[in-house]
Structure 1
Amino acid sequence: MAVTLQKPRMARHLMLLSMSVGLLLLVTGPLHHLRQAWGKAIVVATPTASPVLTSPRAHDTKLQVDLSDRQVRVYRNGKETARYPVAVGQAGWETPSGQFKIHQMRHNPIWQHPITKKVIASGPDNPLGRRWIGFYQGEHMAIGFHGTPQESLVGQAVSHGCLRMRNRDIAAMYQQVGLGTVVEVQN
């Protein structure tokens, strides 16, 4: 007489879950790509070491941020075509300076709080507003241009390093740039 032992229900579910995750990783690659594809974590973007597909707009467009006058200028073929006010990083959370490239762009982004991990859906209460243009990826956070539900703070040093813009301005700038566009940030 053969005896068949059944695993407890929870063990079966955990085994099935781990097999499913393993299969997803085989199909989609590393987990950060999966999280990025789901759009759940702007702060967990593709590392900068990964290749960035370059948009045709990247070749003739450049963004130049002057932190002292809190503005971003858009240049196309060397000529300034637009200028927008931005909120910059507050003391202790300064916006990084240097030369970067846009590596992530999102419409109606979903945001995940980097400490509490709470996910904020896109909409009027989302701190990223209606657009996200990521250009810097640190170990624990990403920096980029984004809209804001608090447009009255644009022009001030109030962010945690990101460059906040009025929603209409980030929507307009979003149309002028692409992946690979150079972003120069200077003090």
Structure 2
Amino acid sequence: MSLTRRGLLLSISGLLSGCTVSGPSHRANYAALSDERFPLPAMPLERIKPELRRQEVVYETQYDAGTIVIDTPARRLYYVLGEGRAMRYGIGVGREGYALAGSAYIGRKAEWPSWTPTGNMIRRDPERNLRYAGGVSGGPHNPLGARAVYLYRNGKDTMFRIHGTNQPQTIGQAMSSGCVRMLNHDVVDLYERVAVGGRVIVLQA
């Protein structure tokens, strides 16, 4: 089966199961996280489209439990739980031409990571990124948000990340420099589930 067809089937599966979780569960998912180094306030549900909220869904897949599957066209990330289930998250993805595809693995993880724009990012958008060339320490104003999961291939950093964001309105859109954005509450949840060395599959249209 092609990656395109597989991605379509996975997207349909997620949509069909998207209404199986009740409102109270959603509220608990986005309650205040006061134990964080930079405490996260509760996120009002009205700011998150229902289809983008974190929820456990029916998900039949060939991938083993513990695998991350990123369905780029559908703007969804699945963490495979096994036994036909997955945790589904809404995500923001890279603009056309700035996206990873295929297989990778988790090379490392970081809480409240620092961030430095790459040379390509500075060249593409110097007005926005040049001022950050010296790096930005972790915290509420950092573009990587509360957590970052770094994607590697063949022992090398791909420069693509799964990370939080200080711009929650971008979830569900294609506008990043190629990385996968998640709501901070969601990336904290994913971070606790995944392990270094875990497999990541990125599906493209």
| TM-score bracket relative to the smaller structure | 0.5 to 0.7
Aligned with 1:103 (options 103, 107, 125): 107
Q: Distance in 1 between matches of 2:117 and 2:102?
A: 26
Query: Is 1:61 matched up with 2:66?
Result: yes
Q: Distance in 1 between matches of 2:169 and 2:144?
A: 15
Following superposition, the deviation at residue 77 of structure 1 comes to: 3.1
Structure 2: which 5+ residue stretches go unaligned? 1-63, 120-129
Q: Match for residue 170 of structure 1? A: 187
Instruction: Rate the CA distance shift 1:163–1:79 in 2: closer, same or farther, 3 A.
Output: same
Residues 137 and 143 in structure 1, CA contact (< 8 A), matched pair in contact too: no
Q: Distance in 2 between matches of 1:127 and 1:64?
A: 23
Residues 146 and 164 in structure 1, CA contact (< 8 A), matched pair in contact too: yes
User: 1:99-137 CA deviation, whole Å, 9 max, x = no partner?
Assistant: 111111000101112234321011111000010001146
Q: Match for residue 135 of structure 1? A: 151
User: 1:37-89 CA deviation, whole Å, 9 max, x = no partner?
Assistant: xxxxxxxxxxxxxxxxxxxxxx8411111111010011123532310011111
Letter in 2 for 1:154: I
Instruction: Rate the CA distance shift 1:98–1:152 in 2: closer, same or farther, 3 A.
Output: same
Q: Distance in 2 between matches of 1:101 and 1:80?
A: 21
- TM-score with structure 2 length normalisation? 0.58
Instruction: Rate the CA distance shift 1:61–1:141 in 2: closer, same or farther, 3 A.
Output: closer
User: 1:121-155 CA deviation, whole Å, 9 max, x = no partner?
Assistant: 11111000010001146989610100000010011
Residues 65 and 186 in structure 1, CA contact (< 8 A), matched pair in contact too: yes
- TM-score with structure 1 length normalisation? 0.63
Q: Match for residue 184 of structure 1? A: 201
Instruction: Rate the CA distance shift 1:78–1:180 in 2: closer, same or farther, 3 A.
Output: farther
Q: Distance in 1 between matches of 2:81 and 2:71?
A: 17
Aligned counterparts, 1:149-164, within 5 A: 149-164=166-181
Q: Distance in 1 between matches of 2:170 and 2:194?
A: 24
Structure 1: which 5+ residue stretches go unaligned? 1-58
Instruction: Rate the CA distance shift 1:140–1:177 in 2: closer, same or farther, 3 A.
Output: closer
Counting matched residue pairs gives 128
Aligned with 2:86 (options 77, 81, 85): 81
Instruction: Rate the CA distance shift 1:183–1:129 in 2: closer, same or farther, 3 A.
Output: same
Q: 3-state SS of the aligned residue for 1:112?
A: coil
After superposing the two structures, state which structure 1 stretch, 156-165 or 84-93, moved more.
84-93
Q: Distance in 2 between matches of 1:179 and 1:110?
A: 19
Structure label with greater radius of gyration: 1
